[in-house]
Structure 1
């Protein structure tokens, strides 16, 4: 049975473990362009399998297994790192010359819509879930979908502050599972504002549905899954990106004040390495949401490119020594930057082959609250200087008596370096040049994959491609 490449022709019914399997018999006369979901999802366990499958696929390398953060950073960190790799698709990103058939972009689009399709199957079959699990399933599915749409909007659409988000195009919004290929299988691109609104709506619902619900699926560790604070944390990130500072501060404050999370004592402890590459390490007390990478999924792709061969990586990305000059003397965060056995300066955050990918952690929430409060001249939860000093204290630095915006942004840059794709996303929202390019250059927006343009006549290509 032919496997169709475009997401609109992918029919995902069961979990990612069994999704997209071939026909069991060579002579199978059933139609191959549709699957009767009533035959595939009939019990709570089936809904649960789809949810677990969605998490599993979200952790693959092209998405939250690392590349969703690696790709934007490569496009914007030329002054911070050296790229020594041979992967042409990633070299294009370093050169800020991505083509319409870039394999990494193609696979990111494809896998992102596969995750959303499985989330949509969960949402379409909530009537099969038990009363005890229904809210949890709905909240987690909408969390994943909202997270996915937010990052797709940032990568395939112009920045929120670049022109009119009500006019600029992002990606198609698909809210129903694909069960049959028909006229509605060829959606047009929604605007940046529409995709942000969908992501926010999903995350607000997720936050409400997961309130007081233990985010647990069977005997799996509950920290592996999203909860109400995960949704609130991503909402804070979205609101900051939009410049909705009061909402950003409020969401960040809710997570911080919950007392559910705390900073690990030493910065390097947030990136545990057990000296055994095959050992998986569970979330730390600082992780609000992290993707669990296992041997069954593949590897942490941040490890692949940032870690040296000493720690199972390729070492394609090395750190420029000038970046370390940005840190103050005695900054404990310098502990994660060291030379490998070949003398190359590497970032050690990703040395564990199966280490978690930190999607969002508590330190970011302190910095979001600090920046939002500073811009508004407010002190929701804490004064900006106090939040900055929380981060500085963990780094072993002396407290500041006052802060300006530049101080907050510097702490954010150093604290979250190589996480979250912030070299690009922060440059855009702050309207800073990215290398030789202005923040609003079309070269800093991914193209719509050519294979998708060919499959869907309603998709319009981005400017510059």
Structure 2
């Protein structure tokens, strides 16, 4: 498994304080960008801080405290906004309640933090990419560039899917996405929103570069197969099924990752090198598993079941023996009467971002749509996934069955909204392309940057 080790180093980019020994700098309240990027060690520290922003930590708990985008908050927002009948919302946070009700306002806290933290990560990454000349070792320079482009491609892909309308495989995709910023932070810079087409092109460029630059194994950080796995997601969202199939197939054939013996073994672990392709570390000392916060009982570290599993979701299973159906537990105390998912039952489990099971589903769906059998025939692939969860084999496949298997396998992991949009299914009584299923551009960002055009319905 690729995860981010604990290494909290603050580097001055736009006002952060840095006095860590690793940077070999004299303690002071601020340093110049030239000093902060003077050595390979310093540039690498900036890259590590980009990872930490995504994970939701700040150096020594110094402000700003980040949102925890990749430790659960993105997944929660996607599944609440994309909910049709899979979960119920029982919490008190107004920003999450508004997502569940599909009634966002232009200062929704989830949208604001998503936008702000994403560009904070991008600012760090761009600073790294602007200082690759500090590396004399070519292999180290390639690794750092690959990791930086992996992060930037990942962030822009997640942003364009929530702040812009769904990619149209048959259109010119001139709908507005998010601003593409490829230079280090500059508070005087004002950039308008780029089109969805342009953002996807940037995402694919970054991830393709990352896959070519990163080694097959990279210790605790993103490697070639993490980049290819995200590329498979991107191509699937575009309905580019041949490219999605081939990227997923390379991960399945060459990465060394396989399905765990049981469904339960794939979750709530500190170190799962078998199924997990990439995840973000959470420990008692650093980070918070935000999925646990909102899905788990108080006894297990959560808030008591803010998000509960519905009977309607459980009825999507065709057999009571399916381990995925039974991977739940009853709430207690304030969550008494709720059914809660066991995927996030441990408070300090790592936040898994990519599992090999997803690659099987991407390859199976793509093969089915194309009438091909690269890697495995689609029916064999789906039945292998079902067998892992003690579900009986299917005799034949339809696209609806494949999409249902995807929902059963990946539930509560941040796929619902995007899968329903790309397959043009109604979402909670709304059409898949309804403006209410797109995040607002935060008003505070528009106040600072008058070039930012608001999404329809949020003025």
Same fold by TM-score greater than 0.5? yes
Q: Which runs of 5+ in 2 are unaligned?
A: 1-7, 20-29, 57-66
Contact between 1:268 and 1:335, CA under 8 Å: does it hold in 2? no
Shift in Å, 1:404: 1.3
Q: Find out whether 1:337 has 2:299 as its counterpart.
A: no
Supply the distance in 2 between the matched residues of 1:106 and 1:386 (Cα, whole angstroms).
Answer: 43
Deviation per residue, 1:287-324 (Å, 9 max, x gap):
11111123454311111101111211011111112211
Q: Find out whether 1:157 has 2:157 as its counterpart.
A: no
Shift in Å, 1:337: 1.1
Q: Find out whether 1:143 has 2:150 as its counterpart.
A: yes
Q: Partner of 2:63 in structure 1?
A: none
Q: Find out whether 1:401 has 2:401 as its counterpart.
A: no
Q: Partner of 1:383 in structure 2?
A: 377
Residue 454 of structure 1 aligns to a residue whose secondary structure is helix
Q: How does 1:36-435 map to 2 (within 5 A)?
A: 36-60=32-56, 61-131=67-137, 132-161=139-168, 164-178=171-185, 180-182=186-188, 185-212=189-216, 214-215=217-218, 222=219, 224-272=220-268, 281-314=270-303, 315-327=305-317, 328-341=319-332, 342-419=336-413, 421-435=414-428
Q: Partner of 1:450 in structure 2?
A: 443
Residue 245 of structure 2 aligns to a residue whose secondary structure is helix
Contact between 1:165 and 1:191, CA under 8 Å: does it hold in 2? no
Deviation per residue, 1:21-52 (Å, 9 max, x gap):
3699xxxxxxxxx9742211111111111111
Supply the distance in 2 between the matched residues of 1:146 and 1:422 (Cα, whole angstroms).
Answer: 18
Structure 2-normalised TM-score? 0.88
Contact between 2:12 and 2:18, CA under 8 Å: does it hold in 1? no
Moved over 6 A (4+): none
Q: Which runs of 5+ in 1 are unaligned?
A: 1-13, 25-33, 216-221, 274-280
**Quick one: structure 1 residues 140 and 22, their matched pair in 2 at CA, closer, same or farther if it must change by over 3 Å?**
closer
Instruction: Give the root-mean-square deviation of aligned CA atoms.
Output: 1.9
Shift in Å, 1:355: 1.3
* Aligned pairs, number: 424
Residue 147 of structure 1 aligns to a residue whose secondary structure is helix
Supply the distance in 1 between the matched residues of 2:10 and 2:291 (Cα, whole angstroms).
Answer: 22
Residue 332 of structure 1 aligns to a residue whose secondary structure is coil
Shift in Å, 1:144: 0.4
